[in-house]
Amino acid sequence: MRAEIANFNILVKIRSHFAWFLVAVVVILYYSMMLLIGLAPEFLGLKIGEFPISLGILIGVFIIATCVSVTWLYTYVANTFLDHEFGEATKRLYKADLIDEDGKLKGDNP
């Protein structure tokens, strides 16, 4: 019966690590851009060929696209894998009579 709880805890760890990894990607990108703005504004002002677009604009668009992609990735993984696995794990815990109707572990009530 404790195997069901261990499996559920593993799922929680997987979700948490995945979410924090994606948060780290976004934070690193964002603060890298802020450091470039503060420390190397002339680098961001470089023109790309004959076009009126600077390197800073392209990097900004890249960061926005990456943030949208990271959000899509988390939503996709959560909806296709994590939600299904959490539902199955909750059913197994309920079937093993380890959680109550509120979704709380029965042994954790004070």
In the numeric block, which tokens belong to residue 29? 């990108």
pLDDT tens-digit map of 75-85: 999 999 999 98
- Give 18-26's long-range contacts (Cβ < 8 A, gap of 24+): 18/74, 18/77, 19/74, 22/70, 22/73, 22/74, 25/66, 25/70, 26/66, 26/67, 26/70
pLDDT for residue 107: 65
pLDDT tens-digit map of 36-86: 999 999 999 999 888 899 999 999 999 999 999 999 999 999 999 999 988
Cα gap 51→12, rounded to integer Å: 48
Q: Is the per-residue pLDDT at 104 higher than 80?
A: no
Whether the model clears a pTM of 0.85, i.e. scores above it, the answer is no
Q: Is the per-residue pLDDT at 109 higher than 70?
A: no
Per domain, the residue ranges of the chain are: 2-108
